[in-house]
A and B are shown apart, each in its own frame.
Chain A
C-alpha cells in the first residue's frame, strides 16, 4: 500500500466528519441567510439581502460580545498566569498533581449547575449582603455585565491555566541558571527568559478562551437576567423564540466573519510579537 493511499485512508474518517458536521451545516446556514421567514416561522426559500441589511438591529448583542469576550479573556489571563506559574515552577512537585486535579474538579459538574450557584452568590442574599453588612454600601451584582464577566472568567479559567502551565513546565531550567550566572536578578530573568518562552501557552490559552467566549450564551442568559445579551443569545432567540431562521442565519454568518477577521489579526499579531516563531499557537 502506498504511503499516500494509507495517509488518505487514515484521514478519511476525520474528513468525512468535517464535511458532514462542519462544512455542510455552514453551507446550510449560508443558504438560509438569503431566505425569508415562513408565515408561521422557520425558513422559506428566497433570495434577499434584507437579513444582512438588518444586522444593525442586533448591534447591541455584537457590541456586548466584542467587549465582554476580550475582557473575559484578559481576566482569565491575569488570574491564570500567576496560578500556572506557581503550579509549574514554585510548588513542591509532590503536591503538583493534586493541585492540577483541583483545577479540573469544577469541570466535573455541569456549567449550568455552577452558574445557578453563582445566581445565589451574586444575588441580594449573597455577596452583596456580605458587602453591605461590612458597611460598603449596597451594590447590585446579579444581572449586570460585571456578573457576566465574573461568570465567564470563572467558567473558562481552566482552559487558560493548562496551556500556560504546559509551556512553563517545559521551560528549560538551565536557561534560568545561565541568566542568573550572567548577573540577572530574578525579575529580569522572568521578563527576559520565562515570559517570552511562555508566549506559546499564553497565545493558545487566549485563543481557546476567546473563540469559545464569542459563542457563549448560557452564562450571559443566567447571570445577565436576559439583559446582558451576547450574539449567542440573539441566535437562540431568533431560532427558538421568534423563529426567524433566515435572519438568525445571517447573524450567525456575521459572527463567523467577525471571528475569522479577529482571529487572523490576532495570529498575525502574536506571531510578530513572538519574533516569528512557528509554534506560537496550536491553530
Chain B
C-alpha cells in the first residue's frame, strides 16, 4: 500500500499523469504513485455513500478474465463494471463443461472466474482445481434468498465453492414455419425421427456430450445420465445414423437458426427465449420424455491471476438489480428471490423460463459420473469423427 505521507510534486504528478495517459503505466501504478488511490480510499471510508465506489477504486487491476457460455451475459453490465472499477472484462466462450475442465487440467488457463454447471463441481473439488469462496467478499450473495434446489450443488462437504448464476432446462427449438405437414414435435423421439426425415440437413446438436448423448438416450426412454454400455451403444447407433442428416454439431446454434439454415436444434432456455423473442415462429419445446434440468454457478479457479477482480466481478453480477438486467437480457431465470421480485410478471409467467410442473418433473440434473466417464467421452469423440 502507498504510504500516505508520501509527497508528490506538481511536476512529478503531471509527468505521471502524462505517462498514464500515454499508456506507459497502468492505472493502478498511477493511482498508487500519486496517492490518489489512497486518497479515494480514505474519502470512501469517511463517506458511507461512496463505499461501493471506494471499493471499486481499490486497485483490483485493469482486467478480469471470465470463462462462460454463449449468449449468457448482458454486455452493458460488463461496461458498467469496467466504468465502476477500471477492470475490463475479457470473455472466453465455451460450449461444454468438458472443454472448461480440459483447460483447467492443462493448467495456466489465465481465468479469474468461470461458470461450471452443477454436476461438475465435485470433480473440480476432487481434482483441486477450484478455490473455496470467501463469502465475506461477496456481500451480494445472500444464501437465504436462494432456492436450495439450484444453489445446493455449489457446496461440497460444507464448503462453498460456487455461487449460483442461473438455472434452466435443455430442450429443443424448432422453426414452426418449416414444419410443413408435420405436427409440432413434443418428444425427443420426434426430434430424432424428424431429423432423419423431413428435417434432414436442418437439425443441429450440441458439441457437448452431456446433452447430445443424453437426449439420444431419451429416444429410447433411458436415463439422460446413463453410463450403461448397452444403452450407450444404442444411443451411439442413433447418433451415427442421424449424423449424415445433421446440419452441424455446434453449441452456438443461434446464428444458423436465425438465418434459416437450421430449422431445429438442441437448445438451452435462454437461447430459446432470445430466438423466440425476435422470431416467434421459433418455439422452445421440452421433450415429454424428460431431459436436463441444470444450474450454473460462478466459481474461481485455483491460481486465478486477478483474485480481487474475480470477487469484485462475482459480487457485481450478483447484485439483484444487475442480475435482473442479466436475466431480462439472456432469458435464463435465477434462483434468487430478490431478483424475481424485480422482474415483471410476464417474465415470471413465461412458459419458456418457468415450464409447467409436469414437464419439469420429468427432467434430471446431470450426474457427476457423466463428466469423467471414459465411454461417454469416447462415444462423443467417435460420433464427431465418424
A complexed with B: yes
Instruction: Name A's B-contacting residues (CB within 8 A).
Output: 37, 39-42, 57-58, 60-61, 119-120, 123-125, 140, 142-143, 225-227, 229, 233-234, 237-244
Given the complex, which residues of B lie within 8 Å of A58, measured CB to CB?
385
Determine whether the beta carbon of A229 is less than 8 Å from that of B380: no
- New A-B pairs, 14, CB < 8 Å, besides A119-B255, A227-B249, A241-B377: A39-B372, A41-B98, A124-B260, A124-B261, A143-B247, A225-B249, A225-B250, A227-B248, A229-B385, A234-B381, A239-B106, A240-B99, A243-B102, A244-B381
Determine whether the beta carbon of A125 is less than 8 Å from that of B102: no
Determine whether the beta carbon of A244 is less than 8 Å from that of B377: yes
Determine whether the beta carbon of A40 is less than 8 Å from that of B127: yes
Q: Is B384 in the interface zone, CB < 8 Å from A?
A: yes
A69 to B310, CA, bound (A): 44
**Residue-by-residue, is B373-386 near A (CB-CB < 8 Å gives 1, otherwise 0)?**
01001101110111
Determine whether the beta carbon of A239 is less than 8 Å from that of B102: yes
A234 to B105, CA, bound (A): 19
> Residue B243 contacts which of A123, A227, A234 (CB distance < 8 angstroms)?
A227
Could you name 24 residue pairs across A and B whose Cβ atoms are closer than 8 Å? A40-B101, A40-B127, A40-B371, A41-B377, A57-B378, A123-B256, A124-B260, A225-B247, A225-B250, A226-B207, A226-B250, A226-B384, A233-B384, A234-B381, A234-B385, A241-B96, A241-B99, A241-B209, A242-B98, A242-B209, A242-B374, A242-B378, A242-B380, A243-B377
Determine whether the beta carbon of B248 is less than 8 Å from that of A143: yes
Given the complex, which residues of B lie within 8 Å of A234, measured CB to CB?
381, 385
Determine whether the beta carbon of A240 is less than 8 Å from that of B384: no
CB nearest to A229 among chain B residues: B385
Q: Is B126 in the interface zone, CB < 8 Å from A?
A: yes
A67 to B385, CA, bound (A): 15
Given the complex, which residues of A lie within 8 Å of B99, measured CB to CB?
240-241
CB nearest to B377 among chain A residues: A242
Interface residues in B358-378 by Cβ distance below 8 A to A read: 371-372, 374, 377-378
CB nearest to B207 among chain A residues: A226
A162 to B337, CA, bound (A): 64
A40 to B127, CA, bound (A): 8
Given the complex, which residues of A lie within 8 Å of B384, measured CB to CB?
226, 229, 233, 237
Determine whether the beta carbon of B381 is less than 8 Å from that of A238: yes
CB nearest to A240 among chain B residues: B102
CB nearest to B129 among chain A residues: A40
A49 to B101, CA, bound (A): 27
Q: Is B300 in the interface zone, CB < 8 Å from A?
A: no
What DSSP secondary structure best describes chain B's contact surface?
helix
Q: Is B123 in the interface zone, CB < 8 Å from A?
A: yes
How many pairs of residues, A versus B, come closer than 8 Å at their CB atoms? 93
Give min CB distance, B354 to chain A, whole Å: 32
Determine whether the beta carbon of A60 is less than 8 Å from that of B98: no
Known: A58-B385, A226-B249. Contact between A244 and B105, CB under 8 A?
A: no
Q: Is B259 in the interface zone, CB < 8 Å from A?
A: yes
Determine whether the beta carbon of B374 is less than 8 Å from that of A244: yes
Give min CB distance, B125 to chain A, whole Å: 11
A41 to B375, CA, bound (A): 12
Determine whether the beta carbon of A244 is less than 8 Å from that of B248: no
Determine whether the beta carbon of A233 is less than 8 Å from that of B385: yes
Determine whether the beta carbon of A60 is less than 8 Å from that of B381: no
Determine whether the beta carbon of B103 is less than 8 Å from that of A240: yes
> Residue B374 contacts which of A37, A57, A120 (CB distance < 8 angstroms)?
A37
A41 to B99, CA, bound (A): 11
CB nearest to B386 among chain A residues: A60
Known: A241-B381, A244-B378. Contact between A42 and B207, CB under 8 A?
A: no
Given the complex, which residues of B lie within 8 Å of A240, measured CB to CB?
98-99, 102-103
CB nearest to B103 among chain A residues: A240
Give min CB distance, A251 to chain B, whole Å: 10
A175 to B385, CA, bound (A): 52
Given the complex, which residues of B lie within 8 Å of A61, measured CB to CB?
385
Given the complex, which residues of A lie within 8 Å of B371, measured CB to CB?
40
Give min CB distance, A43 to chain B, whole Å: 10
A39 to B101, CA, bound (A): 13
CB nearest to B205 among chain A residues: A226
A116 to B264, CA, bound (A): 21
Interface residues in B235-282 by Cβ distance below 8 A to A read: 243, 246-250, 255-256, 259-261
A150 to B317, CA, bound (A): 43
A119 to B101, CA, bound (A): 29
A241 to B255, CA, bound (A): 23
Give min CB distance, B192 to chain A, whole Å: 17
Given the complex, which residues of A lie within 8 Å of B102, measured CB to CB?
41, 239-241, 243
Given the complex, which residues of A lie within 8 Å of B249, measured CB to CB?
225-227
Q: Is B201 in the interface zone, CB < 8 Å from A?
A: yes
Given the complex, which residues of B lie within 8 Å of A142, measured CB to CB?
261
CB nearest to A142 among chain B residues: B261
Known: A40-B127, A41-B101, A240-B103. Contact between A227 and B381, CB under 8 A?
A: no
Known: A39-B372, A241-B98, A244-B374. Contact between A124 and B259, CB under 8 A?
A: yes
CB nearest to B258 among chain A residues: A125
CB nearest to A238 among chain B residues: B381
A119 to B381, CA, bound (A): 24
Given the complex, which residues of A lie within 8 Å of B101, measured CB to CB?
40-41, 243
A61 to B385, CA, bound (A): 6
Interface residues in B157-181 by Cβ distance below 8 A to A read: none
A234 to B378, CA, bound (A): 11
Given the complex, which residues of B lie within 8 Å of A225, measured CB to CB?
246-250
A227 to B383, CA, bound (A): 9
Given the complex, which residues of A lie within 8 Å of B106, measured CB to CB?
239
CB nearest to B246 among chain A residues: A227
A142 to B248, CA, bound (A): 9
A39 to B123, CA, bound (A): 11
> Residue A243 contacts which of B98, B247, B255 (CB distance < 8 angstroms)?
B98
A41 to B369, CA, bound (A): 12
Determine whether the beta carbon of A41 is less than 8 Å from that of B372: yes
A57 to B101, CA, bound (A): 24
A267 to B260, CA, bound (A): 47
